[in-house]
Structure formats: structure tokens, C-alpha cells
Amino acid sequence: MIDNDKTHFDAIVIGTGFAGIYMLHKLRNELGLKVRAFDKASGVGGTWYWNKYPGARADTESFVYRYSFDKETSEGWDWRNRYVDQPEMLGYLQAVVDRHGLAKDIQLKTGIDSAVFDEIHHIWTLTTSTGELFTARYLVNAVGVLSKIVIPQIPGRDKFQGQIVHTGAWPADLSLEGKRVGVIGTGSTGVQFICAASKLALHLTVFQRSAQFCVPAGSRQVSEAYVAEYKNNFEQIWDGIRNSRIACGFEESGVSAMSVSEEERQKVFEHHWEIGNGFRFMFGTFSDIAVDPAANQAASDFIRAKIRQIVKDPETARKLCPTDLYAKRPVCTNDYYETYNLPNVSLVSLPENPIKELTANGVLTEDGVEHKLDLLVFATGFETVEGSYNQMEIRGRGGETLQHHWKDAPSSYLGVATAGFPNMFMVLGPNSAFSNLPPSIESQVEWIGELIGWAEGESTPVIETTREAEEAWTATCKEIAAYTLFPKVKSWIFGENIDGRSSRVLFYFGGLAGYRAKLREVADADYEGFILHSDPSSMVA
Ligand code: NA7
């Protein structure tokens, strides 16, 4: 066992995005543990470090896409835009790191290659990409849900003479000015990129596999009075957010779409279209858009009518009209459909005209047209949850790898722990709450911190969840997901964006308030579903 001042820690945190930063603060500054956080990036920020593509910004509002634990940084943070953009987000996270003096315990440019649990000494041993070895009693994975980028295989990739990039690994110095740009992907990243790129590129060609339901974001500057009101009602606003389903800071509707007249329904949709925001449109208009097929159809019809009204060329409008259910992660950005009226933007509908191959000059489609490009951008998403963990070799009891434990699908108890991996926790592990992520992250960090604090009061604390608890939580998540329309459409939410991967439940769809109530219930029942070994001889095999 390695036990020296520089390499042994009470806890190691992997990742320094929203989750890792707060976890480090919680364990080190509040619990008084000796902690180190690692990140393979050269700066903190996680997702917000890597996703530097033009147009990158949060699409939940600035006042909810932040920490509530750090009132002081928020107090001094006079944001001016309804949505925080990527540079401002990084600035905010760096300010939190600075305020809490966290930098000295963050080791950047260091990936974790493996983490192995020693069953005799109850210690995790980690090896890094820099060839170092570290040990810790607790291991917390704060590696994100959407970190591992996906680039589809397209024939002829090596022939293309231009540049290829993924939005999730955007080089900071890459400019679009004067370039012929192609983009594959119209998810929430794609729509942001498309709008920004249309204003910068000489020409933009959008290669669309699925048409997207996109509502206006309603991006605008906010007034000083608006910011002051938030600051004056900080606690009350955050209480409301924690007690809501989606945690986006707007009032979620309790009215079902079909319970009102057609005229009223259109009025509500129109009102929310004007206000803007994707989650608000899906959950603020009516209570059952994501649950009831008729309600879903009404919302879809409304958006399709908007597309036909906005897009001048009827053929382009036809291609842009989605035919699926409105049941992917709701997407918003300003002027998405208007962008297709610009003379420098063209649309290729891939189901009708697939990509044949990449050539030296660009993309050749089945109709024989070669779309000449200087830059091809993949906005093709991420390998949800598993991708973040599969990059490391994590071994728990009996040397079992996490990949093996999750061979059918990733699973967990409450999204924070998985059986056979003692003293290992996850922030946003599989089957965490589907909501605006910062409040979800805070709920888990605080709960994990409480659990570790509780266990620290015991001698030789080893905490692990049971297979029964994990199976029961997985079953609950499956049951709730099946009640919604989300699994009926292929998307990253169910891991189905990866070719050949079957649908798996990766989120708890019962809402953040329900999730937090469950966390409280488990804690109040002396952490039911966890075993706390105060005597090593009582360890389960
Ligand atoms: P998404 O939402 O997974 O979107 C990926 C997009 O790329 C989507 O339009 C896909 O089409 C498209 N795609 C993926 N593979 C291909 C291939 N092989 N050919 C053509 N088009 C393809 O990723 P985002 O980065 O936009 O968003 C991920 C989340 O990150 C986002 O929701 C936020 O929460 C943050 P499809 O719809 O699958 O037909």
C-alpha cells in the first residue's frame, strides 16, 4: 500500500466540471478530508471546457444554470444575458474555483487510466495517463454524462483535404470566416452551431438525418432589475427549483393539453413560443406533452405550422418538418428555421439523399452532387454515460470491471453507487434525475458528502450498495420511463444514438423533487440499500 503525503488521499475526484468542482469543495472544505481532483483537460470546466464551438451556450436560463451552494459568487455575478455562453460559463466556474481555493488540489492534464479496489486494505489505487500512482479511500467519478464524442464512420474520410472537427473537441483558434462549412447533426449542439455558423461562414451546408423540433430560445439581455430580483429572492427561487420536476426555474404546467379548448391550446403554445425556451415549451405549456400522444401531436402540429410559416422555400420547409414524436431532449435556439432562408445556407436531407463518401474536396451525396467544403463539423453527439466510464479500467470486488458489471446496460442505486464497487460514488451516474443538471448535481454532491460524513464517524468505513437495491432502483426507473413518450424515439437519452446499441434506461424520469425525496427517505432510513462495514470481517464477497 502506498501511503505518502503526496500520493495518498482520503478521496479522489475524477473530473472538474460542475460536479467535480463542487465535490472537491464539499469533501475538502466542508468535511475536512484530504482530496485531489484530476482532469485530463488543461483547464477546469468539463463540458464547458471542451465545447467551445461557435454558438455554445446553456439553453436553460442563467439563474438556474449555476450553483445554489455558492451564493457569494452568484451575488457578485452580474450576468446580462438570459442564457450564459460558453466563455462566460468557464469564467463563472473558474471564479468558484478561485473563491474556494480549490486550484491547489486540482491536477490538470492528467487522465485516469485505471482505478482498482484493494479488498484487503479497502483502498482504491489509480494510475494516471502521466504514469503516476495514487491511492484513496473514496473514489468519486464526476466524469459527466456526455463526454465521449461520437464521430460516425463515413467512407473516404482519409481522402478529405479539408479539416474535420467535432463540436465537443473544438479547437479554440478555429475560425469559420470565409470558409465553406458542412455540419452533420441537428441536435441541441447542431442547432446552436448552425445559427452561429450561418453568420460567419461563406457557405454552410447542413446534413440533416432527423428534422428537429426547435423552439425559439428567447435569448435577450436581462435588466438590472431582473438580476436584483433574483438576488433578493435567492433562497425562495432555489427552493422552488429543487421542488420542481425539470428544475429549470419556470412554473411547470399542471394542466393537460386536451382538457382545454383548441383555441386555448393554441394561445398557450403561442405564448410560450413568444417567451422562448425548449424545456419551458415542453413542460410549461401543458403537463402531458411528453406523456400523452394526443398532447404531443398538438405540440408537434403547432411547431410544424411555425416551420411552414417561417421557411420561405416550401421544399426546404418540408424537409425541416419532423415526422417523429416530439420526445427527444427539447431543443431551442433563436432563429433556427429563419436561418434556412439565408442565401449562404443549404440543407441536405440525408434520409432522402444519403452521404455516399467524403472526397478530397468535400461530401459526395447519392444524387451525385459534390458539396465542396473547407471544414466538416460533426455535431453528432456523445456516448451517453457509458462513454465517460469506458475510457477507464475500473475494477471492484473480485477484480470485476465496471464494463463487465454493466455488460447489459449501465445501472446504479440512486445514480450514485453501483454494487461491487465499494467506496466508489458517481455524480450523474446512470439513472440520475432527468432535469436541468446543476441542481441535480448539487443534490447528489450534497447527499454523497452527507453519506461519507456519516460513514467517517464509524471505524474502518467501507460503504457499498447491494445488488438488490441497484436492481430495485433500475426497475423503478424503467417503470417510470415506460410511462413517458421518450423511449419511443431513438436518441442519446436511451443510448440509442450509438449504432447497434439497444435502448437502455439511463435516467430517472420522476423529476428532481421526487428524486430528492427518495434521497431523503433513504438517508432517513440509515442509508437503506447501503451496507456500512465497521468490521472488515463482515464484508460481503
Ligand atoms: P445529439 O442530441 O445526440 O445530436 C446528434 C445529432 O447528430 C442528431 O441530429 C443526430 O441525428 C445526428 N447524427 C448522429 N449520427 C449521425 C450520422 N451517422 N449521420 C448523420 N447524422 C447523425 O447531440 P448534441 O451534441 O446535439 O446534444 C447532446 C446533449 O449535449 C444535448 O442534448 C445537451 O444536453 C448537451 P438523429 O437525430 O440521431 O437522427
Which residues does residue 215 pair with via DSSP β-bridges, in sequence order?
332
User: Ligand 1 pocket, 478 CB below 6 A?
Assistant: no
- Identify which of 425, 515, 428, 429 has the alpha carbon closest to the alpha carbon of residue 461: 425
pLDDT mean over 305-328: 98
Assess whether 324 and 468 both reside in one domain: no
pLDDT mean over 456-460: 74
Domain residues for 307? 182-378
pTM: 0.96
Out of 353, 378, 403, a domain closes at: 378
Tell whether 175 is covered by a domain. no
Between 5 and 415, residue with greater pLDDT: 415
Tell whether 171 is covered by a domain. no
Out of 331, 361, 378, a domain closes at: 378
The yes-or-no verdict on residue 312 having pLDDT over 70 is: yes
Helix (H) or strand (E) holding 113: strand 112-118
pLDDT mean over 315-329: 98
Tell whether 374 is covered by a domain. yes
pLDDT mean over 273-279: 98
Out of 346, 362, 378, a domain closes at: 378
Assess whether 57 and 144 both reside in one domain: yes
CATH code, domain carrying 436: 3.50.50.60
Assess whether 435 and 529 both reside in one domain: yes
User: Ligand 1 pocket, 184 CB below 6 A?
Assistant: yes
Assess whether 277 and 195 both reside in one domain: yes
Number of structural domains (the chain) is: 2
Q: Cα(380) to centroid of ligand 1, in Å?
A: 4
Assess whether 372 and 392 both reside in one domain: no
* Strands 355-358 and 362-365, bridge-based pairing: antiparallel
What's the rounded Cα separation, in Å, for the pair 233 and 230?
Answer: 5
Assess whether 47 and 135 both reside in one domain: yes
Q: Cα(311) to centroid of ligand 1, in Å?
A: 22
What's the rounded Cα separation, in Å, for the pair 17 and 24?
Answer: 11
User: Ligand 1 pocket, 190 CB below 6 A?
Assistant: yes
Ligand 1, atom 18, lies closest to the CA of 152
Confidence class of residue 74 from pLDDT cuts 50, 70 and 90?
confident
Assess whether 481 and 498 both reside in one domain: yes
Assess whether 359 and 482 both reside in one domain: no
pLDDT at position 461: 79
Tell whether 2 is covered by a domain. no
pLDDT at position 72: 84
Q: Cα(141) to centroid of ligand 1, in Å?
A: 25
User: Ligand 1 pocket, 187 CB below 6 A?
Assistant: yes
Assess whether 372 and 388 both reside in one domain: no
Assess whether 346 and 416 both reside in one domain: no
Please write down the HEC assignment for all residues of 365-408.
ECCCCEEECCEEEECCCECCCHHHHHCCEEECHHHCEHHHHCCC
Tell whether 16 is covered by a domain. yes
Tell whether 122 is covered by a domain. yes
Ligand 1, atom 6, lies closest to the CA of 185
Strand segments, DSSP code E, in 340-494 are 345-349, 355-358, 362-365, 370-372, 375-378, 393-395, 424-426, 432-433, 462-465
Tell whether 174 is covered by a domain. no
Tell whether 153 is covered by a domain. no
Assess whether 374 and 404 both reside in one domain: no
The yes-or-no verdict on residue 197 having pLDDT over 60 is: yes
User: Ligand 1 pocket, 147 CB below 6 A?
Assistant: no
Confidence class of residue 532 from pLDDT cuts 50, 70 and 90?
confident
Assess whether 237 and 127 both reside in one domain: no
pLDDT at position 143: 98
Q: Cα(231) to centroid of ligand 1, in Å?
A: 36
